[in-house]
Structure 1
Amino acid sequence: MDEARSLYIDFEREAEFACPHCGTANKVYDTEKKLWRHLDFWNWKTYFHARAPRTDCTNCNIVTLVPIQWARLQFHFTLLFGAWAMRLMAERPFNAAARELREHDTRMWRIFHYYVNQAMAELNLTQVTWIAVNETLSRCGHRYITLFVDVNTKIVLFATA
């Protein structure tokens, strides 16, 4: 079984946090316990445990979970873990990246889809005038990958297997 280490992060008593909507400083209304997988520390899996504060904004009257700087709130990995996972998945098969990170490959696919969908949402296609299509052999057995690329910027617009 993998050994794991935990880091506990907390905020000071009477701390105030800015409302994510209007920026007004507010005291903590309540907290939610959260857990995130972080990069391994030597040979140990490392987890961050934190009480994520919620504020009851005095200005806009909304109870809101305060954004966490090191992770997305509905994501079970730190941002650094997600970035490292994406780097590994760019260089090797997802299963190999998952084995190195000691995570299930379906969790790697969730990280991959999140960042690809985010990049696609931010992609501006209004200036695309020429598209190149390239089909290449993925592995023996006639499995192909098709790429659609903007000729001017060399940005991949779409890829499919």
Structure 2
Amino acid sequence: MNKDLLSGVVLLAVAGTYYTWTTQIADSTLSDEIGAGGLPKVLAAILAILAVCLIVRTLLSARMKPATAAAAAGNADDEEADENAKLPRAIGFLLFGAAYVALLPFVGYPIATALLIAGIALYEGSPRTWVIPAAAIGGGILYWAIFVKLLGVNQPMGSLFQGLF
């Protein structure tokens, strides 16, 4: 079984499980027409649609694979090198996410987000110029403004700055 097909099936199962869990979210007396489970149900549906797209794409590409097998034989070495490089890169991104989650309660949302933006930009090989800190600081402030001020979603300010705000 192809790894993309397996991933699509697993994602579809996750979407179904997540949707089942969203149906158990209780509505409060302050709920609007959509209710508290509205957005989670939409996210579950989007995940299911993406999983089905992945499954269909994999099945369609498997049909076309025999016709292009001879042409792809020359590129097998290059593809194998690319496949081997994906795992360390993915682990790097996973470590950035773990560091973000670990720093968030301590330094707060704006600073953790700015550090995440800068770290990923440097990890991806961006030149070390003034643009990275400017984009990181601007991004941290922008995301904080969107979530906290515009949408009203409180984000942690961090224990480091607890006495200041």
Higher-RCO chain (CA-CA 8 Å, sequence separation at least 6) = 2
Greater per-residue helix proportion: 2
Tell me whether the two structures share a fold, i.e. TM-score over 0.5: no
Greater per-residue strand proportion: 1
